[in-house]
A and B are shown apart, each in its own frame.
Chain A
Amino acid sequence: MIHLKEIAVTFNPGTALEKKALNGLDLKISQGEFVTVIGGNGAGKSTLLATLCGEVLPTSGQVLIDDVDVTTWPVWKRTSFVARVFQDPMVGTCSNLSIEENMALASRRTLSRGLAPALNRHDKERLRHALSRLALGLENRLKDPMGSLSGGQRQAVSLVMSALAPMKILALDEHTAALDPKTGAFIMDLTRQIIEEHGLTALMVTHSMTQALQNGTRTVMINAGRVVYDAKGAKRESLTSQDLIALFHKSHGEADLLT
């Protein structure tokens, strides 16, 4: 289970630029849940994800993963629990390295890196097999540099890469936002498949209300650094994106009155 406990994050504290990005946010995610997170610009969605991944250290509060306190763990150490797909496929994959090298790197996310060859024949077979599911023909281009692929192809590969090693939670950071609608839909389908296949726990940040409701098992709305709405099961089933937009405006109104 993942528990973000009373998380507060303040950027540039004590200066004119002080910003409370998260303000006592509390979120528990059970094993196997697929949580979609929505909220306006500056609501704290990205900071929430960055806190989970370790890029941002909370000012106060705790990050617990399976009862292990990982609050102060650096990003690279936390990857034994958290797999991540970035919004920008250029960040999530390495242009200069070949497809197989990118994947070989990802496949050791939870393992130590020693002086054994990064790629042996057995690995290559496994990587080829993992890529073939995409049906993009990439399994025959293992030696091509990642930089020769399109953004959508790279995002598809980074999804496959994230699932090469075990994890406690998959963190998806608006990972279809930089893609055209058709490619975005393809990536979203792929995401669902991978999550279902491996029975993953996932947290997906998105700007699209529709995407937030169509995918996952639970939807959380964030505003002013707090969870303002949380729906799952039957309550979520009956929800429409119109309802969400209404809720969104309501919580915004309240926040505006407060500030």
Chain B
Amino acid sequence: MNIIQALGAAELGLIYGIVALGVYLSFRILDFPDLTVDGSFPLGAAVAAILIVSGCNPWLATLAALGAGMLAGVATAWLTLRWGILNLLASILTMTALYSINLRIMGRPNISLLGEPSLFSFLPDLCAHLNIPTYVVMPIVMALIAIILFLMLFWFLSTQFGLGIRCAGAGARMAQSHGVCTRTAITTGIALSNGLVALSGALFAQAQSFADVSLGTGTIIIGLASVIIGEALFHTRSLFVALLSCLIGSVVYRLAVALALNASGIGLVASDLNLVTSLLVAVAMILPKLREKIRMKVTS
């Protein structure tokens, strides 16, 4: 792996780090296994891409992607909380629907953004001016965006309203008995989670100069893998560190993947990525149970 590949992996890791923040919010904080993200990631990319090629300002396009993702989250939350559909199933329903919706939005399976304006249009000039290659600056810009979003999420979850969301996820009866409307809290949380994921999709589309309807496959597993790697690296009770570890976990994940794919001799190709990631998540979830079993055997 050379330096360009490593920086590219870090950039991708930071983009997906935002997905990991969203997944942490739904899976860990709200205890809501939300697969909507497989649809909201390409939704964000689709909305941003179609708006940009139609001449819309990239900032507005990105904001619209955020809004679209939040709507997708509201749909899932509504199906679950209003109609009592199992959360996992509700999220699969939204995800499946989003596949068609994304095709409708784009009007075709993929859109190229080469030569179109983007949030990062200013970079080539800046880099030429500073005489630094773009592939160095891009990860830095992405890191800044990811850190700003991480700090905003941390701030939000530390507010009175945010604390209500965290409690609604951890103990709904307790939250209600202290005056938290859990329906509002969970809906807001899931909307925010999917908003972040769609935002990440919009950034991905602009950074990679394309949007594709099949972008979303496996997004949830990648997000989950990042969360789990982050948790393995930092055993923490602090929300600040836990959220930060999502970003770090995502970058570590991408670097590990890049390393594996570039190492000759292992024989892995890019299309093995989903298999490797699924195995990683499965093993990470099996390990604690195995450890528990072994400990019980040892003590008995």
Q: A113-B164, A114-B159, A118-B160 are in contact. Are A93 and B174 (CB under 8 A)?
A: yes
**B interface, how many residues as a size bin?**
20 to 34
Task: Give the shortest distance, in Å, between B159 (CB) and chain A (any CB).
Answer: 5
Tell me which residues from 19 to 77 in chain A have a Cβ below 8 Å from any Cβ of chain B: 53, 74-77
- Whether the Cβ atoms of B160 and A101 lie closer than 8 Å is no
**Does A246 have its Cβ within 8 Å of any Cβ on chain B?**
no
**Does B171 have its Cβ within 8 Å of any Cβ on chain A?**
yes
A116: chain B residues at CB < 8 Å are: 159-160
- Whether the Cβ atoms of A145 and B237 lie closer than 8 Å is yes
Tell me which residues from 158 to 178 in chain A have a Cβ below 8 Å from any Cβ of chain B: 161
- Whether the Cβ atoms of A76 and B181 lie closer than 8 Å is yes
CA distance A102 to B158 in the complex (A): 13
CA distance A94 to B175 in the complex (A): 9
- Whether the Cβ atoms of B180 and A76 lie closer than 8 Å is yes
Question: Which stretch of A84-92, A125-133, A181-189, A235-243 is in the interface?
Answer: A84-92
B181: chain A residues at CB < 8 Å are: 74, 76-77
CA distance A92 to B176 in the complex (A): 10
B178: chain A residues at CB < 8 Å are: 79, 105-106, 108-109, 161
- Whether the Cβ atoms of B177 and A97 lie closer than 8 Å is no
- Whether the Cβ atoms of B171 and A94 lie closer than 8 Å is yes
A102: chain B residues at CB < 8 Å are: 167
- Whether the Cβ atoms of B177 and A53 lie closer than 8 Å is yes
**Does B179 have its Cβ within 8 Å of any Cβ on chain A?**
yes
- Whether the Cβ atoms of B162 and A109 lie closer than 8 Å is no
**Which of B159, B160, B161, B177 gathers most chain A CB within 10 Å?**
B177
Task: Give the shortest distance, in Å, between A199 (CB) and chain B (any CB).
Answer: 22
**Does A222 have its Cβ within 8 Å of any Cβ on chain B?**
no
- Whether the Cβ atoms of B163 and A91 lie closer than 8 Å is no
Q: A75-B176, A76-B176, A84-B177 are in contact. Are A95 and B161 (CB under 8 A)?
A: no
Task: Name A115's closest neighbour in chain B (CB-CB).
Answer: B159
**Does A191 have its Cβ within 8 Å of any Cβ on chain B?**
no
CA distance A106 to B170 in the complex (A): 15
A86: chain B residues at CB < 8 Å are: 173-174, 177
- Whether the Cβ atoms of B160 and A115 lie closer than 8 Å is yes
A105: chain B residues at CB < 8 Å are: 163-164, 167, 175, 178, 180
* Interface size, chain A (Cβ < 8 Å): 35
CA distance A86 to B176 in the complex (A): 12
Q: A79-B177, A117-B158 are in contact. Are A101 and B163 (CB under 8 A)?
A: yes
A193: chain B residues at CB < 8 Å are: none
B171: chain A residues at CB < 8 Å are: 91, 93-95
Per-position binary interface string of chain A over residues 109-151, scored 1 when its CB falls under 8 Å from any chain B CB and 0 otherwise: 1110111111100000000000000000000000001000000
CA distance A5 to B182 in the complex (A): 28
CA distance A118 to B163 in the complex (A): 7
Q: A75-B176, A75-B177, A105-B180 are in contact. Are A118 and B170 (CB under 8 A)?
A: no
CA distance A114 to B159 in the complex (A): 7
- Whether the Cβ atoms of A76 and B182 lie closer than 8 Å is yes
**Does A212 have its Cβ within 8 Å of any Cβ on chain B?**
no
**Does B166 have its Cβ within 8 Å of any Cβ on chain A?**
yes
**Does A80 have its Cβ within 8 Å of any Cβ on chain B?**
yes
**Does A96 have its Cβ within 8 Å of any Cβ on chain B?**
yes
Q: A79-B179, A80-B179, A105-B167 are in contact. Are A94 and B159 (CB under 8 A)?
A: no
Tell me which residues from 170 to 218 in chain A have a Cβ below 8 Å from any Cβ of chain B: none
Specify which of B159, B163, B179 is in contact with A109 (CB 8 Å cutoff): B179
Task: Name A79's closest neighbour in chain B (CB-CB).
Answer: B179
A95: chain B residues at CB < 8 Å are: 170-171
Q: A94-B167, A105-B167 are in contact. Are A117 and B174 (CB under 8 A)?
A: no
**Does A104 have its Cβ within 8 Å of any Cβ on chain B?**
yes
B164: chain A residues at CB < 8 Å are: 105, 113
Interfacial residues, chain B to chain A (CB-CB below 8 A): 156, 158-164, 166-167, 170-171, 173-182, 237
Q: 17 new A-B pairs (CB below 8 Å) besides A91-B174, A115-B159?
A: A76-B176, A76-B180, A77-B179, A94-B170, A96-B170, A97-B170, A104-B160, A105-B178, A105-B180, A106-B178, A108-B178, A113-B160, A113-B180, A116-B159, A117-B158, A118-B163, A145-B237
CB-CB nearest 7 A-B residue pairs: A79-B179, A118-B163, A113-B160, A75-B176, A109-B179, A96-B170, A113-B161
18 contacts between A and B (CB under 8 A): A79-B178, A79-B179, A86-B173, A86-B174, A94-B167, A94-B170, A95-B171, A96-B170, A105-B163, A105-B178, A105-B180, A109-B178, A113-B180, A114-B159, A115-B161, A117-B158, A145-B237, A161-B178
